[in-house]
Amino acid sequence: MSEITRDTVAHLATLAHIEMSEEQLQAMAGELQQIVGAVAQVSEVAGDDVPATSHPLPLRNVMREDVVGEPLTAEEALSGAPDAEDGQFKVPAILEED
Amino acid sequence: MTQNIIELSAAELAQKLAEREVTSVQAVEAHLERIAATDGRPVEADNPYAGKTGLNAFLHVNTEEALSVAAEVDAARESGEDLPELAGVPIAVKDLIVTKGQPTTAASKMLEGWMSPYDGTVTQRLRAARMPMLGKTNLDEFAMGSTTEHSAYGVTRNPWDLTRIPGGSGGGSAAAVTAFQAPLALGTDTGGSIRQPAAVTGSVGVKPTYGSVSRYGVIAMASSLDQVGPCSRTVLDAALLHEVVGGHDPQDSTSLTDPATGFASAARAGAAEGGLKGLRVGVVKELTGEGFQAGVEQRFREAVDLLRSAGAEVVEVETPNFRYALGAYYLIMSSEVSSNLAKYDGVRFGRRTLPTDGNLTIERVMGATRAAGFGAEVKRRTILGTYALSAGYYDAYYGSAQKVRTLVQRDFNAAFEKCDVLISPTAPTTAFPIGSVDEHADPMQMYLNDVATIPTNLAGVPAISLPAGLAPEDGLPVGVQFMAPAREDARLYCAGAGLEALLTQANGGPIWKDLPDVVTAVNNLPGTTSAVATEGAAK
């Protein structure tokens, strides 16, 4: 198990889209190190012969009939959005302006 | 009417409603009054995050709609309409389940004030069963925690001792049924969030077989583990509610096709004379001993002795891979959390927080929104899951955890060859004081609460927790848990109701006969007195 540093957490926080202060990064590195240290033994338990289980019941993909239903209207779907315009979600600029 | 309405079980209340001894409006009013007398007032008028002065089991009380549904049921009954069994019986709903007409917050700042434009399947089924919804109950934010201390809207208090935690994540639902605020509640259980609160509040909680109850309209935490289930004071009531909300739902691709029937009849059969005769009960060796409080062990052993004396065959089973279950669970759960919570992006619903400086790009808005909207535990699990799924670690952590999941399932399969149901304590300790676990110093300590409940979620098998009495050393409730093979939920209701009947007889009544007077306790809380005094002075 490699060491979890402040920089590791900074990278993970970027991937997870959570802004974190310097203090939070430091604290989280210590907490994560403890948790990962405690759970790391799972990697030593099962051999290559054990199949992985991603789901508790042996279900295959279930497809329903393709029939016309009564889904939400655009207005309903947008009702909880922080910002909307012309029947669409409105977001801040996607690209950095340089 | 000789008995107070709120003290009736759901089954008893349903019968009195059917016999027109009580109206649904009376039942709803009685429970609303109880909520008003025990849940407390906002600690700070304009700050919902400060919580309430009492139990704080409810995040939203649905007064108007509950009364109007009750009035409709009464009118229908008056006109001779054929009504479902629980029609008119009020219920509380964990605030992780979406409901039209009431806010759904997941106890997060991220969804503060959010109104779902649709009903979850279980919500629809409550409406079809004509059960008035009393409101939405408190939980750890997005169901992540074992105490409700991680709710953004203040901790829920344990009705047995207001200075202690009610368990979590579903502490609000468990406290509500325990304190007679509602006869029934819905919860969700990802690693023990129905059963551990039931155990520490002396109530009943069931995690059905994965897929037995639809997850459509239940805010997702870890999709391969989450399951909706009933909270109640009696095993029969849980069975009745499971029959209402369970069964196939085409809206959930993991929904089983089995009908949700036969649970109440199984409970009645188990509670009948000789109902446990010949039941093979396996004591899980790995879920006793070290780490379990002495009084928890004692009440557990006594429950097993009662089963034996009632003619059950008790054997010991070994499940050697359960010791790795907690580690595997935290990797799988956090991985799924990091994926499921990606949807809170400040675009489609809920909060949007703008960065205070620099350019307003979508990436920065997302980062600021999630920083402000998520609490510490949600961030911790999201970051852990992002780590477990990231390049270079995926095989070692997430991949290995999935293999451990297979080994845990094999342990269950081998155990169920020797017995019909398994039994263990539900939680290692009784309720501990609010604020007593320092999660920053030792984040794993909190997670150990779930050591006995997690294996069933990994394997998808069903389990029930019911009260086994009070621990001698602290006078607080202890829970025992039965586990059954997948799709054999009826066995839980049979064994659970059988043990419940034995315990009630042995203890001279149900566990709540020893519940302290919650109204008095709430009025004596330091915060309540000052809040009332301040309000009185302002008038």
Count Cβ atoms below 10 Å from residue A21 Cβ, excluding itself: 9
Cβ contact (<8 Å) for A16 and B382?
yes
Task: For B164-223, write each residue's pLDDT tens digit.
Answer: 999 999 999 999 999 999 999 999 999 999 999 999 999 999 999 999 999 999 999 999
Neighboring chain A residues of B444 at a CB cutoff of 8 Å: 34-35, 38
pLDDT at B334: 97
- Give the helix/strand (H/E) hosting B186: strand B184-188
For residue B394, what is the nearest residue in chain A, using CA coordinates?
Answer: A43
* Beta strands B184-188; B228-232: pairing state: antiparallel
Query: Which tens digit of pLDDT belongs to each residue from B122-161?
Result: 999 999 999 999 999 999 999 999 999 999 999 999 999 9
Structure-token pair, residue B195: 């059963």
B132 DSSP 8-state letter: P
B259 burial level (CB within 10 Å; 0-12, 13-18, 19+): exposed
CB contacts of B399 in chain A (<8 Å) are 52
B194: its two tokens: 């129905």
Q: Which amino acid type is present at position A87? A: G
> Which of the four pLDDT bands, split at 50, 70 and 90, describes residue B515?
very high
Half-sphere exposure of B228 (CA within 13 A, CB side): 33
The residue extents of the domains of chain B are: 2-324+404-538, 325-399
The model's pLDDT over A2-30, given as tens digits with 9 standing for 90+, comes to 789 999 999 999 999 999 999 999 999 99
**Per-residue pLDDT reduced to its tens digit, B363-421:** 999 999 999 999 999 999 999 999 999 988 888 899 999 999 999 999 999 999 999 99
Q: What is the pLDDT of residues B485-494, one digit of tens each?
A: 999 999 999 9
- Look at A29-43, B91-105, B464-478, B510-524 and tell me which has the smallest mean pLDDT: A29-43
Question: Nearest CB to B403: which of A46, A79, A93?
Answer: A46
- pLDDT higher than 60, residue B530: no
Radius of gyration of chain A (CA): 22
State the burial class of residue B274 (Cβ atoms within 10 Å of its Cβ: 0-12, 13-18, 19+).
Answer: exposed
Question: What percentage of chain B exceeds 70 in pLDDT?
Answer: 97
B463-470 and B477-483 strand pairing = antiparallel
**Pairwise CA distance, residues B94 & B123, whole Å:** 11
With H, G, I as helix, E, B as strand and everything else as coil, classify residue A32.
Answer: helix
Instruction: With beta carbons under 8 A apart, name residues in chain A contacting B115.
Output: 79-80
- Cα torsion B275, B279, B284, B288 to 10°: value is 40
Please determine, for residue B271, whether its predicted confidence score (pLDDT) is greater than 80. yes
Contact A27 B440 (CB under 8 A): yes
Which DSSP symbol is given to B116?
-
DSSP-derived pairing of the beta strands B280-284 and B204-207: unpaired
What confidence category does residue B1 fall into, taking pLDDT thresholds of 50, 70 and 90? very low
The partner residue sitting opposite A18, judged by closest CB among B371, B401, B406, is B371
3-state secondary structure of B56: coil
For residue B514, the tally of other CB atoms under 10 A from its CB is: 14
| Of residues B479, B519, B518, B513, the one with CA closest to residue B499 | B479
Give the mean pLDDT of A51-69.
84
Topology adopted by domain A1-43 = Histone, subunit A (1.10.20)
Which one of A46, A51, A93 has the shortest CB-CB distance to B360?
A93
Q: What is the DSSP string of B392-431?
A: TTTIIIIIHHHHHHHHHHHHHHHHHHH-SEEEEESSSSSP
3-class SS letters over B100-111: CCCECCCCCHHH
Distance from CA of B348 to the nearest CA of A (A): 5
- The helix/strand count (H/E) of chain A reads as 3, 2
pLDDT tier at B4 (50, 70, 90 boundaries)? very high
Task: Determine which of A54-63, B22-31, B33-42, B202-211 has the lowest per-residue pLDDT on average.
Answer: A54-63
Helices (H), B202-321: 235-245, 263-271, 294-309
> What pLDDT sits at residue B527?
63
Residue B193 catalytic?
yes
Residues B324-350: tens digit of each pLDDT? 999 999 999 999 999 999 999 999 989
Minimum-distance CB partner of A39 among B327, B361, B460: B327
Q: What is the DSSP letter of A59?
A: P
Query: Among residues B52, B94, B109, B207, which one is catalytic?
Result: B94
Chain B residue nearest residue A70, CA to CA: B118
- Kindly list the distances between the CA atom of residue B515 and the CA atoms of B201, B292, B389, B475, in Å, as whole numbers in the listed order: 10, 24, 46, 10
Domain boundaries, chain A: 1-43
Is residue B539 over pLDDT 60? Answer: no
- Complex confidence, ipTM: 0.94
Strand pairing class (A84-85; B91-94): unpaired
For domain B2-324+404-538, the CATH class is: alpha beta
Are residues B224 and A72, on separate chains, in Cβ contact within 8 Å? Answer: no
Q: What is the pLDDT of residue B3?
A: 64
Q: Which residue has the tokens 């870890």?
A: B222
Give the confidence band of A59 by pLDDT, cuts at 50, 70, 90: confident
Catalytic residue check, B94: yes
Average pLDDT over residues A53-71: 83
Yes or no, beta carbons of A18 and B379 under 8 Å apart: yes
